[in-house]
Chain A
Amino acid sequence: MMNMEDRIWDYIDGLSSPEERAIMERLLQSDPAVKSRYDELLILQQQLKAVELDEPSMGFRNRVMEQVLAGPHPVALKTRVDNRIIYIIAAFFVCTIGGMLAYTIYKMDWSGSASGFELPRVALPVVNWSFLENPSFTLFFLSMNVVLGLLLIDKIVTARRKHAAEKG
């Protein structure tokens, strides 16, 4: 529950909901204490908006430009993607998949046998798992997992540090 001062601030800053605004407007007309507080905070808000900004020293801009020009020029690493390109690519894939599906359905034999529809018999290939017995493969597989695990830990630690830095 917000206190009256916070409610007045929200009203002044235009952050209150329409219902709250209506309540505040009624309160301002009926309650002199609220009105007095409102007048006081309104002055403070106007002063906050009018606080003078500080000016850096005369050569500030030139110093920035000197430093900027001494370094590399910003290169657009990623050109802005035109949405139309994405739509064209999406349309291409949708048409291709749709066409293949339509062709498959068209070519399908719908007559069936007397006993009804039967799934074609497919002989599944036997997977040869013997490669797992190869120690080099196992070592490579484990090493990759360790590297990926370390990368994940590093990412988590970096994110936590950044979060902590943001919180000050």
Chain B
Amino acid sequence: MRDNQTDLELIDQVLAGTASAFAELVNRHQRYVFSLALRFTKSREDAEEIAQDCFVKAYRSMAAFQRTSKFTTWLYGIVYHTPMTFLRKKRLDVQSIDDEATYVQVEDTASDMKASLVEEKSRAEYLEKAIGLLLPDDAVILTLFYRGEQSLEEIAAATGYEANTVKVKLHRARQRLRDKLELILKHEVKDLVR
């Protein structure tokens, strides 16, 4: 029954005391929130912890949601800022592909897949792998823009950057994504030739 209700209607119910309405909001947005959290940390356990923390924060500060933006924009704003605190606390290693260690990781991944042929893999798989190798900020902006259906202005509201800065970041993120894709494909081809 709650499937037909909008996010704002569910928020009204939560604020009126129906906590179970929040379960529907979690249901609707858990995949986006979890995917965004995974852009910050490669560990699923940590990502779940971050995502859980985000939903709890969203619930507790629900009254502060002013409805001047979409609920998702507000929620993604929480998701964007929560992992920073979490990562600082846990001092997790968030290295970029430019670091030597990550190159090793790419090589390892490539050699693990020796048996399979390049043709058997879809480009989507490579794309996901390349996104996973991006810096968190780049990966999050790409995810928000292409999968979160957020406009530049909405991403700006969620991240706290200016819309123009988001646009520049988006351009750079796409360029880096293409670099990573080329790097991965180069490794795959090298592997096949060996």
Give residues in A with beta carbon < 8 Å to B: 2, 5-6, 9, 13, 15, 43-45, 47-57, 60-61, 63-65, 67-69, 71-78, 80, 165-166, 168
What separation, in Å, do the CA atoms of A165 and B84 have in the docked complex?
7
Is the beta-carbon distance between A60 and B124 smaller than 8 angstroms?
A: no
Which chain A residue lies CB-closest to B55? A64
Is the beta-carbon distance between B63 and A48 smaller than 8 angstroms?
A: no
Q: A68-B56, A77-B63 are in contact. Are A61 and B30 (CB under 8 A)?
A: yes
In the assembled complex, B78 has its CB within 8 A of some CB on chain A: no
- Which of B31-39, B97-105, B107-115 lies at the binding interface? B31-39
Is the beta-carbon distance between A77 and B64 smaller than 8 angstroms?
A: yes
Give residues in B with beta carbon < 8 Å to A: 14-15, 17, 19-20, 22-23, 26-27, 30-32, 34-35, 38, 44, 47-48, 51-52, 55-56, 59-64, 67, 81, 84-85, 88, 123-124, 127-128, 131, 136-137, 142-143, 145-147, 152, 159-160, 167, 171, 174-175, 178
Q: Which residues of A contact B84 (CB under 8 A)?
A: 165-166, 168
Q: Which residues of B contact A73 (CB under 8 A)?
A: 17, 19
Q: Which residues of A contact B146 (CB under 8 A)?
A: 45, 48-49, 51
- Contacts beyond the supplied A64-B30, A73-B19: 4 A-B pairs with Cβ under 8 Å: A15-B167, A43-B123, A45-B146, A64-B56
Which chain A residue lies CB-closest to B146? A48
Our count of residue pairs bridging A and B at CB distance below 8 angstroms stands at 112
What separation, in Å, do the CA atoms of A57 and B143 have in the docked complex?
20
Is the beta-carbon distance between A9 and B171 smaller than 8 angstroms?
A: yes
What separation, in Å, do the CA atoms of A69 and B99 have in the docked complex?
43
